[in-house]
Structure 1
Amino acid sequence: MSAQLKIDFWKGEQYWIGKLVDHPEILSQGESLEELEENLRSAYREMLLDDVAEEFEVKYIAL
């Protein structure tokens, strides 16, 4: 079974930029719309499907 991922996307000055509607914290870019889609799939897998270690550290960074 495959999941359906709804994305919001737009063309920036150089790249296609997009985010997952159900997980707006997952944002990516690509030189083509196809590359953007693959980058979002990969980011989704990394963020939601990979196991998180039982022990981890938290750090705040300035923007």
Structure 2
Amino acid sequence: MFNANGQLGDVGVRTTKIVYWQEDEWWLGYLEEFPDYWTQGKTLDDLEEHLRYLHADLTSGELSGMRRVADLTLA
């Protein structure tokens, strides 16, 4: 989780998959679970920071109508 300074606290390390690429001088990417919500950064580190904030917003439960990607188990 994020602390008051907007940085990850010591709650435990969690990971999520991201998709990213570079176009010209910008790094673009999105969270694999939320492919409709892209962000960008001037560096890969900057992009990763923006993706962390985006993840916090998208998983806060305060936004509605979001499309997600999930696995479906087939019998």
**Same fold judged by TM-score > 0.5?**
yes
Q: What's the CA shift for 1:52?
A: 2.1
In structure 1, the partner of 2:52 is: 41
Deviates more, 1:40-49 or 1:28-37: 40-49
Unaligned runs of 5+ in 1: 54-63
Higher helix fraction: Structure 1 or Structure 2? 1
Say whether residues 1:29 and 2:32 are aligned partners.
Answer: no
In structure 2, the partner of 1:57 is: none
Greater than 4 Å deviation, 4+ residue runs:
none
Looking at structure 2, the residues matched to 52 and 12 of structure 1 have their Cα atoms a distance apart, in angstroms, of 32
Letter of the aligned partner of 1:41 in structure 2? R
In structure 2, the partner of 1:14 is: 25
**Identical positions, percent:** 29
Q: Aligned Cα RMSD in Å?
A: 2.0
Tell me how many residue pairs correspond in the alignment. Answer: 53
* TM-score, structure 2 normalization: 0.60
- Counterpart of 2:62 (choices 30, 40, 52) is 52
Deviates more, 1:4-13 or 1:33-42: 4-13
Unaligned runs of 5+ in 2: 1-11, 64-75
